[in-house]
Structure 1
Amino acid sequence: MFLNDLRRAFPNANMKFNEPLKHYTYTETGGPADVLIFPETAEEIKALVRFANKAHEPVLVLGNSSNVIISDEGVYGVVLMLTEMDYISFEGDEIKAGAGSKIIDVSRQAGDRSLTGLEFACGIPGSTGGAVYMNAGAYGGEISEVLVEIDVVSKAGRFYTISNEDLKLAYRYSDLQESGDIVVEARFKLQAGDYDTIQATMAELTEARESKQPLEYPSCGSVFKRPEGHYTGKLIQEAGLQGYTIGGAQISKKHAGFIINIGGASATDYINMIHFIQETIYKKDNVLLEPEVRILGKRTKYDVVDDGFEHQ
Structure 2
Amino acid sequence: MNIEKSLRERLTNSVIKTDEPLQRYTYSHTGGNADYYISVYNIHDAMETIRFAKEYSIPITYLGNGSNLIIRDGGIRGIVLNTLELKEIKRDGDYITSGSGSRIIDVSRFARDHSLTGLEFACGIPGSVGGAVYMNAGAYGGELKDCLVEASVITPDGELLTLTNEELHLGYRQSIVQENGYLVVEATFKLEEGSSSEINAKMDELTFLRESKQPLDLPSCGSVFQRPPGHFAGKLIQDSGLQGHRVGGVEVSKKHAGFMVNIDNGTGSDYEELIHHVQQVVKEKYDVLLQREVRIIGEHTEKTIQD
For Structure 1 versus Structure 2, the TM-score category normalised by the shorter chain is over 0.9
C-alpha displacement at 1:172, in angstroms?
0.7
Measure the CA separation in 2 of the matches of 1:241 and 1:70: 23
Counterpart-to-counterpart distance in 2, 1:53 and 1:160: 18
Q: Could you tell me which amino acid in structure 1 is paired with residue 36 of structure 2?
A: V
Q: Tell me the equivalent position of 2:56.
A: 55
For 1:2 and 1:14, the matched residues in 2 are separated by: 14
1:151 is aligned with what amino acid?
S
**CA RMSD of the aligned region, Å?**
1.0
Three-state SS of the structure 2 residue aligned to 1:79 is strand
Compute the displacement of 1:112 (Å).
1.3
Shift of 1:195: 1.7
C-alpha distance in 1 between matches for 2:4 and 2:54: 14
Whether 1:241 aligns to 2:207 is no
The equivalent of 1:28 in structure 2 is 29
Contact 2:13 2:41 in 1 (8 A): no
1:188 aligns with 2:189: yes
Query: How far off its partner does 1:6 sit?
Result: 2.2
1:70, CA displacement in angstroms? 0.6
**Which residue identity is paired with 1:70?**
I
| 2:10–2:48 Cα contact (<8 Å) kept | no
**Unaligned 5+ runs, structure 1:** 301-312
Query: Which amino acid letter does the alignment assign opposite residue 25 of structure 1?
Result: T
SS of equivalent to 1:86:
coil
Give the conservation status (yes or no) of the 8 Å contact 1:219–1:261. Answer: yes
Task: Give the residue type in structure 2 aligned to 1:166.
Answer: E
Give the match's secondary structure for 1:161: strand
What is the percentage of aligned positions where both structures have the same residue? 53
* Distance in 2 separating the partners of 1:234 and 1:148: 34
Which amino acid in structure 2 is aligned with residue 80 of structure 1?
L
2: CA distance, partners of 1:299 / 1:249: 17
Query: How many equivalent residue pairs?
Result: 300
Task: Show CA shifts across 1:108-129 (max 9, x none).
Answer: 1101111110000000000000
- Give the conservation status (yes or no) of the 8 Å contact 2:75–2:298: yes
Structure 1 match to 2:88: 87
Residues of 2 paired with 1:88 and 1:4: CA distance? 33
CA contact (8 A) 2:87 2:99 kept: yes
Aligned to 1:271: 272
Give the superposition deviation at 1:160: 1.2
The match for 1:67 is 68
> 5 Å matches for 1:1-312?
1-299=2-300
Gaps of 5+ in 2: 302-307
Cα distance per residue 1:265-294 (max 9 Å; x no partner) = 001100111111111111111101110001
What is the CA distance between 1:26 and its match in structure 2? 0.1
**Conserved in 2, the CA contact under 8 Å of 1:58 and 1:76?**
yes
CA contact (8 A) 1:2 1:55 kept: no
C-alpha deviations, 1:192-239, integer Å up to 9, x for none?
Answer: 112221111100000000000000000011000000000000000000
Q: Quick one: distance in 2 between partners of 1:162 and 1:12? A: 26
- Find the residue that maps to 1:85 and give its secondary structure: coil
Structure 1 CA distance for aligned equivalents of residues 73 and 261 of structure 2:
17
Instruction: Quote how far apart the aligned CAs of 1:299 are.
Output: 4.4
After the TM superposition, list the runs of 4 or more consecutive aligned residues in structure 1 that deviate by more than 2 angstroms: 1-13
Report the AA paired with residue 84 of structure 1: E
Q: 2:284 is matched by which residue type in structure 1?
A: K
Report SS of the residue matched to 2:186.
strand
Residues in 2 aligned to 1:187 and 1:161: alpha-carbon distance in whole angstroms: 10
| SS state at 2:40 partner | coil
**TM-score normalised to the size of structure 1?**
0.94
In structure 2, C-alpha distance between the alignment counterparts of 1:167 and 1:258, rounded to whole Å:
28
Counterpart CA distance in 2 for 1:9 and 1:139 is 44
| Map of 1:303 onto structure 2 | none
Tell me how far 1:86 sits from its aligned partner. Answer: 1.1
